[in-house]
């Protein structure tokens, strides 16, 4: 206890052991979507569900503990939906790469990130290459994307398509055109009731915290209350404590990118080599952009907790976790905006993140209990934590077209393409276009050029190779 209190400087940060533990649990419960949704998405590529589950949990656990110990910040790193969907849908299903080849690209990207971000002078240069408007807009867009995920997982939103505007593939997946429109709620279901109760509990407790200036663990209690309400409604399925063999699946996915199919098969044809290089560049520099934007955005939102020195240490630690995720066998991770849930609950030190990371690892043998938290109980925390990034909007100079337009385009593109990766690329392209049109192309920084050129190359190669 004393050792932890001394290392994480609890007294200097005006926090307590119990407060940090509660905030760590809060972040863990809010982050349940990562190990619940990541395996489901990535398994569409043919990867074994159990292996991806274990790899995701271990990546989040070990990576978060690493950042906690090194930087003393209450932030969590995990495979997120931005790269889950990009790896599964774009790289594997759309372009036809084997999942082992996708992991090989992730490994190369992780190695490149370490080379680029470990030197202190390069970290600072990369941070300065991202315009503040795009930095904050990316964080806001990622936050609202998480809120959208929450709305969808609570089944608050459904989509309707007119007859004749959709088709189905051989696997039964439905593809609709842009005539599909979202509709809200519809008839109430038990899942809706659970989500609404959780939402009301979180908002009411947060309002009480503002009024009384005391912490009640709004996110934590909201998730717990919603989960308990779901028991009589048969939404929360109570599972007995039992050992699950999810960790055994690691044998199928960890260190699996060697050989063929894998890193060797990426060099089978000139077109495949070129496409692989472009994808590695995209994964690397989008990861760098998201890392700086998320940490910088959250740091600006909670300036009292985040210092420049701590953020610098966290970036260095986070850059090495991408390499770990490839070794274990899951999609690339980054710092999650859901960290806001624990920080908003009063988390101030890495002890909260240490608790979150430890819970990720400890949940491995108890997958049955872990999965008993229904999506509807976790969804309200996702919705609210995403919304908490919106105050950053005041840091963007919206009256300046050069800053405001790329920022709002980034946010809109993230939401409407349902992809943080493509949203960042579109926003950066808008920034480059405006600066070039005004004769200020020299003001556009290196990172923006690389990302825009890489995506143009990706589109060109896909057109030439017809994939």
Mean pLDDT, the chain, integer: 84
The residue to which tokens 């995990």 are assigned: 78
Q: What is the number of structural domains in the chain?
A: 1
The residue to which tokens 């004769």 are assigned: 439
pLDDT at 213 over 70: no
Strand partners, 79: 333
CA distances 45 to 37, 42, 84, 194, 343, Å, are: 14, 6, 11, 32, 35
pLDDT, one tens digit per residue, over 23-59 is 898 888 878 777 777 777 787 788 887 788 888 899 9
pLDDT at 412 over 90: yes
The region that residue 183 occupies, defined by phi over 0 for left and psi between -120 and 50 for alpha, beta otherwise, is beta
- What pLDDT, on the 0 to 100 scale, is given for residue 368? 56
Which residue segment(s) compose the domain that 337 sits in? 2-465
Residue 429: pLDDT band (50, 70, 90) is very high
Between 344 and 408, residue with greater pLDDT = 408
| Crossing angle (nearest 10°) for helices 33-42 and 132-153 | 80
CA distances 210 to 21, 223, 344, Å, are: 21, 19, 11
The residue to which tokens 């199928």 are assigned: 252
pLDDT at 241 over 50: no
- What pLDDT, on the 0 to 100 scale, is given for residue 366? 66
DSSP run (H or E) holding 334: strand 333-335
Q: Which two tokens stand for residue 60?
A: 């989040």
- What pLDDT, on the 0 to 100 scale, is given for residue 432? 93
pLDDT, one tens digit per residue, over 152-179 is 888 888 777 777 666 765 555 566 666 6
Most confident of 83-92, 231-240, 370-379: 83-92
pLDDT at 6 over 60: yes
- What pLDDT, on the 0 to 100 scale, is given for residue 240? 46
Residue 128 CA to residue 292 CA, distance in Å, equals 10
- What pLDDT, on the 0 to 100 scale, is given for residue 403? 87
Tell me if 28 sits within 8 A of 356, measured CB to CB.
yes
Between 180 and 20, residue with greater pLDDT = 20
* pTM across the whole model: 0.81
pLDDT, one tens digit per residue, over 316-352 is 888 888 888 888 988 888 888 888 888 888 888 999 9
DSSP run (H or E) holding 142: helix 132-153
Percent of the chain with pLDDT over 90: 22
pLDDT, one tens digit per residue, over 257-268 is 887 888 888 888
How many angstroms from the chain centroid is the CA of residue 56? 12
Cβ atoms within 10 Å, residue 210: 9
């Amino acid at each position: 206890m004393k050792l932890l209190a001394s290392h994480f400087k609890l007294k200097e940060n005006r926090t307590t052991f119990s407060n940090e533990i509660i905030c760590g649990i809060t972040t863990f419960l809010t982050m349940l979507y990562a190990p619940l949704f990541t395996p489901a998405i990535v398994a569409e590529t043919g990867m074994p569900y159990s292996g991806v589950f274990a790899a995701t949990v271990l990546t989040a656990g070990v990576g978060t503990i690493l950042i906690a110990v090194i930087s003393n910040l209450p932030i969590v790193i995990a495979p997120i939906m931005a790269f889950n969907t990009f790896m599964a849908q774009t790289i594997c299903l759309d372009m036809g790469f084997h999942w082992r080849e996708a992991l090989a690209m992730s490994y190369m990207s992780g190695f490149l990130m370490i080379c680029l971000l470990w030197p202190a002078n390069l970290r600072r240069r990369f941070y300065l290459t991202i315009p503040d408007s795009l930095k904050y807009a990316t964080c806001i867009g990622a936050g609202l994307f998480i809120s959208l995920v929450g709305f969808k997982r609570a089944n608050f939103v459904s989509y309707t398509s007119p007859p004749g505007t959709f088709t189905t593939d051989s696997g039964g997946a439905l593809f609709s055109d842009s005539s599909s429109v979202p509709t809200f709620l519809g008839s109430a279901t038990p899942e809706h009731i659970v989500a609404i109760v959780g939402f009301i509990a979180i908002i009411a407790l947060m309002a009480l915290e503002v009024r009384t200036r005391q912490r009640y663990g709004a996110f934590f209690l909201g998730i717990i209350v919603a989960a308990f309400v779901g028991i009589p409604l048969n939404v929360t399925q109570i599972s007995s404590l039992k050992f699950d063999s999810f960790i055994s699946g690691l044998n199928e996915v960890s260190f699996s990118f060697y050989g063929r199919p894998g890193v060797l098969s990426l060099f089978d044809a000139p077109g495949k080599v070129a496409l692989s290089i472009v994808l590695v560049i995209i994964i690397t520099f989008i990861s760098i952009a998201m890392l700086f934007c998320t940490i910088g955005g959250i740091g600006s939102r909670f300036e009292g907790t985040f210092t420049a020195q701590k953020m610098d240490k966290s970036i260095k630690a986070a850059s090495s976790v991408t390499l770990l995720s490839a070794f274990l066998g899951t999609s690339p991770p980054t710092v999650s905006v859901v960290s806001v849930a624990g920080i908003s609950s009063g988390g101030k030190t890495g002890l909260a993140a240490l608790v979150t990371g430890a819970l990720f690892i400890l949940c491995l043998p108890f997958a049955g209990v872990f999965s008993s938290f229904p999506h509807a109980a976790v969804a309200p925390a996702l919705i609210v934590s995403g919304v908490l990034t919106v105050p950053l909007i005041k840091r963007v100079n919206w009256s300046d077209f050069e800053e405001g337009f790329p920022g709002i385009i980034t946010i809109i593109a993230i939401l409407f393409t349902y992809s943080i990766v493509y949203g960042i690329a579109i926003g950066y392209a808008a920034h480059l276009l405006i600066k070039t049109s005004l004769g200020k192309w020299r003001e556009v920084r290196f990172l923006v050029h690389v990302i825009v050129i890489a995506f143009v190359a990706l589109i060109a190669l896909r057109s030439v190779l017809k994939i």
